[in-house]
Amino acid sequence: MILPIYVYGQSALRKPTEEIGPDYEGLKELIDNMYETMYNASGVGLAAPQIGLSIRLFVVDADVMGDEYEECKGFKRAFINPEITNKSQETVSMEEGCLSLPGINESVSRAKWVEVRYQDENMQEHEEKIEGYAARVFQHEYDHLEGHVFTDRISPLRRQLIKNKLNNIAKGKTACRYKTK
């Protein structure tokens, strides 16, 4: 089932999120719905706050970028209760977009790699080092669980320059080809 994606201005994107346990009702179905919603919108990641749920869960599938970024090949995961246990001092700046901020693309500085711990859709525990563009996707989605969107991480000057665009999204004035809320 395709779910509406909450856009910039919705308080759900800013709320604290809670960890979930194996008894979380309908978890498998929820994850399926999140993948379907993400693919429908041509995204490579979708976090629970973007569909109005304040829980620590996101899905990614960056395989489509595999030709350009080797590390994205097969990078399809559900991350439940993820933690960043270590990250590189070295950062890389690259352009990002977000399904909750249609029409906005800005350069964001991110750690080059992250070491993470998380549970998968079967609640199996994993530890993984994620690098390159895959690390960027992870950090972007992880930010959503912390109530951040990528424009929080751009310079005040850049944010001022896109202020009208952001306001238009919040006012529902931005056209979008997928269902939003």
Instruction: Show which residues are catalytic.
Output: 141
Our CB check for Ni ion shows the closer of 80 and 98 to be 98
Our CB check for Ni ion shows the closer of 25 and 108 to be 108
The terminus-to-terminus CA distance of the chain in angstroms comes to 16
The full length of the chain comes to 181
Residues near Ni ion (CB under 5 A), total: 1
**HSE (side-chain half, CA atoms, 13 Å) at 154:** 19
30 lies in the binding site for Ni ion (CB under 5 A): no
Shortest spacing between CB 48 and Ni ion, in angstroms:
12
34 lies in the binding site for Ni ion (CB under 5 A): no
Our CB check for Ni ion shows the closer of 27 and 47 to be 47
- 126 is known to lie in a ligand binding site: no
- Closest-CA residue to 72 (of 94, 42, 44, 32): 44
Which residues, numbered 74-113, are part of the site for Ni ion (CB under 5 A)? Answer: 98
> Which amino acid, one-letter code, is at 97?
G
Which value, in Å, is the radius of gyration of the alpha carbons in the chain?
A: 16
- 144 is known to lie in a ligand binding site: yes
Shortest spacing between CB 143 and Ni ion, in angstroms:
8
44 lies in the binding site for Ni ion (CB under 5 A): no
Return the DSSP state at 13.
G
- 72 is known to lie in a ligand binding site: no
- The percent helix, strand, coil of the chain (3-state, each to 5) is 35, 30, 40
Shortest spacing between CB 178 and Ni ion, in angstroms:
13
Spell out the residues 6+ positions from residue 148 whose beta carbon is closer than 8 angstroms to its own: none
Chain residues that interact with Ni ion, rule: CB under 5 A: 98
What residue numbers does the annotated binding site for Fe cation cover? 98, 140, 144
